[in-house]
Amino acid sequence: MTTWKVLEGKTAIITGAGGGIGRPTALALARAGAQVVVSDIDSGSAEESAALIKAADGRAIAVAADISEESDWAVLIAEAVKAFGSLDILVNNAAATSPKDRDLLSMEVDVWDYTFSINARGTMLGCKHAIPKLLERGKGSIVNIASGSALTGQLGVPAYSAAKAATISLTRSVATLHGKQGIRCNAIAPGLIMHPRLAAHFPKEQIQIDAENLLTPESGAPEDVAHAVVFLASDQARFINGHVLPVDGGILAHTPFYAQVRALGQSSVTYVSEE
């Protein structure tokens, strides 16, 4: 694997690494020199990701885990240390949504609780079980994958948005509680990142609306998030702690009516003389 080895000699765990954003991120961690513990609730997809890393001369193992279960986290951490001797990086990437997560008036408590069990509790459990091992090394980096939906109101997915907002708050808490002990904890808030799992059921009209509101010529790809993860995990980001990095093509950096005004070919500000 050829790349700048900014993670040489480090051991990284990444959850949800069987596909979506997770697999390209696992590959990017390996290219940067890390020994990667590839975890997914689907053991087969985790094995496939690990095999891709090994085929490119990287080091990886696959461990199936349900991140909402504390006992699975204990096994996952133990397997990482058994295989590679230590732990330096945790990437909490695994996430879940429900087609029933539409609005509050129809919200089922089971849907709300399930969404939080994966996106919020799972992330908390990862931090809880990884931090003691990071402390043994004297430093470490945790990168939590949040969502742009945690930073804005949405016409849907209220449970997912709230759970990802909880992830951002947890990120800041971990950084505050353990920063002086050498632990950095940051979050990434991706915008719409298309990958096969998402593209299979995402409306084309909504993809077009998103593209019209980006401040970049291209739409987002999983590799864009992967590069950000590698940076935040590395010592190059040693002075960054407790922050949220949007990887969203600038979609949250402008006024809500950006696309409409741009279509008109006008400035969004009208200057009126005070004379």
| Cα within 13 Å of Cα(63), Cβ side | 23
Q: At what angle do helices 22-31 and 222-233 cross, to 10 degrees?
A: 50
Strand partners, 63: 39
Can you tell me the distance from the alpha carbon of 9 to that of 84, in angstroms, rounded to the nearest whole number? 10
Name the phi and psi angles at 143, rounded to 5.
-120, 115
Q: Which two tokens stand for residue 246?
A: 């949007």
Indicate if 258 belongs to the active site: no
- Match 């919200």 to its residue by tokens: 107
Helices (H), 200-271: 204-213, 222-233, 258-264
Closest CA to 95 of 16, 191, 41, 154: 16
Q: Among residues 114, 160, 258, 271, which one is catalytic?
A: 160
Task: Please work out, in degrees rounded to the nearest 5, the angle formed at the alpha carbon of residue 216 by the alpha carbons of 213 and 219.
Answer: 75
The count of residues in the chain is: 275
Active-site positions read: 160
